[in-house]
Structure 1
């Protein structure tokens, strides 16, 4: 199945939304897909990838596999398999490696690994749909691995116990370490993203790997931002989106709600996030159109409104309980600065009305202001 980004004709339904992407791989594809829907996108890769950390050993293991195919080859990641094949091709072993794998039982850890194998013309004999090494270990041990030679291409986090389980079951195992997760290329960007998330600066945060999600959570802890971010998620003001259940695990371990697509693919993740953030359920029907109040912007019928930070703060307060009258004191509390002059609210409301229309923000004499809903 294709892992292409979605191209459904939904229009700019993410206009005004601000999305944080924590991935390094395919970040450009993610950014382009979200921007086509109108979103503003920030990339702060929470981890880097250190490729070919021991290329000499990798080439030696590849030669050994070519000369003597293994009984079983476990491919744990798509990026790892592609990097392995690139390395083999660079030393003239690409074709030979593919031929060798055709003589082995090939097991894939999830759809990304399967997709990489299929792109190389290989069909895996079995796929762990849960994307866990534990499922692979259970499957292989159930079939019996005693006396078998098993080669494991590790994912970026290294050995997670799979080889230990297979060795205990009587197999002879060897490792292929193609890449490892490393520190982010721009640590300050990651720290800044943590602070901005805590301040309500994003509508959604996207994750494409469990180590990347765990690393971003560590950045939140380091910036003392974890509590505020958890509060925003619990309040429905920040959406966390992960490509699959394995990626979502570090987030769910903290009790956080995570959007996970029905299929663990990047295209499915993007489609789910677009539908989630663009859903009319989160919009308010006003006399001027469908109003959406995002983290850093507001839109009417997907058209951005020219509101200031103060105007956005007022609009968010009014939209939190549409129809309810907010007093001037309540609105003063949410405006930037420490002014207690009621005239400050009157000026801010006047400017807000210029952006959204007088019919949207109504004055209730001697009481305050309210957000008017269509048909109310």
Structure 2
């Protein structure tokens, strides 16, 4: 699917009809996109990172052999995918049986429920799980036990240097880091550029994140492209951010953005909380002389008719509809247009907006003052 393509199955009858949602993940993105589109959303897919296995797994196997020689007392597991991939790679190299014995002899501690499920699915048991699914918490809870002990830390692709250092500071005699994969730049950098433009211009209603590195990659790309301030403003005030859990939410909270976070840290729960939020807060309605008018995402509904608006039309109509019959000054509407726009540009934009609406009479002109919904 092209990044520029916005598919709209279902239309207004579905709970996400009219809403434009960005998906930033690479892994399991098809599943998430299909679920959102099935509910009527228009989806823009732009992976902010690519999960890249280590080249020919040479480094992973080298570190695995170190683990086999080390015979660690503790193994800390950060991710389900990473643990599965580590074991599968070792098994394919003929090291599976020996790694199985080493893991059975060690005390395994996991970061969260998904990692716990992966550990159990491969026939192992865990002796502990982080209370809040954070790697830092997992390390702090295990640290009192590791003095003089050998520890393996299965990383989640972005270094975990503070975690490894904390284990060393706690007195671990040796710490080996296992990295079954790395995060790399996305294959198509243009997708990221297009997504940043869409977010900053108001063309996206919500953006989903399923990993903390994906959030950090987007923020870093915005800084590189000179739109960091505009992106933060959009994410704080006009775009709904939703994350799969608190770990993913952390880098957003660090920059003052409070995302939606489901109580149960699963993709299905993330979708449900997004549907509930957009259904409750993502639409604007007003009673006009032509009947009840509702704006859902980029779609105007009036008397059984619905029309999609462009990004500029949406900004103007949202401002006018939100005023619910009060006059919106011309100066306020001009400020919503691209920098340097004139009063004439506003007149042209309002003319195009009226033609795009189900009925042009929805907007009334208040001479020398501005515009309002015709109530």
State whether structure 2 residue 285 is matched by structure 1 residue 292: no
Counterpart of 1:141?
143
Counterpart of 1:250?
251
State whether structure 2 residue 67 is matched by structure 1 residue 72: no
| Structure 1: tracts of 5 or more residues without a match | 1-9
**Displacement after TM superposition at 1:60 (Å):** 4.3
**Displacement after TM superposition at 1:35 (Å):** 0.8
Change (3 A) 1:311 1:214: closer
Counterpart of 2:3?
none
Match of 1:351 among 345, 351, 355: 355
Change (3 A) 1:314 1:59: closer
Counterpart of 2:344?
340
Looking at structure 2, the residues matched to 180 and 137 of structure 1 have their Cα atoms a distance apart, in angstroms, of 21
Change (3 A) 1:332 1:258: closer
Looking at structure 2, the residues matched to 338 and 137 of structure 1 have their Cα atoms a distance apart, in angstroms, of 58
| Structure 2: tracts of 5 or more residues without a match | 1-11
The 3-state SS of whatever aligns with 1:259 is coil
Contact 2:131 2:138 survives alignment (8 Å): no
The 3-state SS of whatever aligns with 2:321 is helix
Contact 2:209 2:242 survives alignment (8 Å): yes
The 3-state SS of whatever aligns with 1:270 is helix
Deviations 1:145-178 (A, max 9, x none): 2332221111111232223332333322222121
The 3-state SS of whatever aligns with 1:50 is strand
Higher relative contact order (CA 8 A, sep 6+): 1
Looking at structure 1, the residues matched to 181 and 370 of structure 2 have their Cα atoms a distance apart, in angstroms, of 60
Deviations 1:23-74 (A, max 9, x none): 1111111111111111111111111122134623423443565677532111
Contact 2:17 2:39 survives alignment (8 Å): yes
Looking at structure 2, the residues matched to 346 and 11 of structure 1 have their Cα atoms a distance apart, in angstroms, of 28
* Aligned CA-pair RMSD: 3.3
Looking at structure 1, the residues matched to 350 and 229 of structure 2 have their Cα atoms a distance apart, in angstroms, of 34
Looking at structure 1, the residues matched to 96 and 271 of structure 2 have their Cα atoms a distance apart, in angstroms, of 33
Change (3 A) 1:92 1:197: same
Deviations 1:122-146 (A, max 9, x none): 342211142323212221222x223
Contact 1:112 1:265 survives alignment (8 Å): no
Change (3 A) 1:309 1:351: farther
The 3-state SS of whatever aligns with 2:344 is coil
Counterpart of 2:235?
233
Contact 1:293 1:316 survives alignment (8 Å): no
Change (3 A) 1:321 1:250: same
Q: Number of aligned residue pairs: give it.
A: 358
**Displacement after TM superposition at 1:362 (Å):** 5.7
The 3-state SS of whatever aligns with 2:32 is helix
Equivalences for residues 294-309 of structure 1 within 5 A:
294=297, 296-299=298-301, 304-307=306-309
Looking at structure 2, the residues matched to 211 and 274 of structure 1 have their Cα atoms a distance apart, in angstroms, of 24
Match of 1:217 among 219, 224, 246: 219
Looking at structure 2, the residues matched to 218 and 346 of structure 1 have their Cα atoms a distance apart, in angstroms, of 36
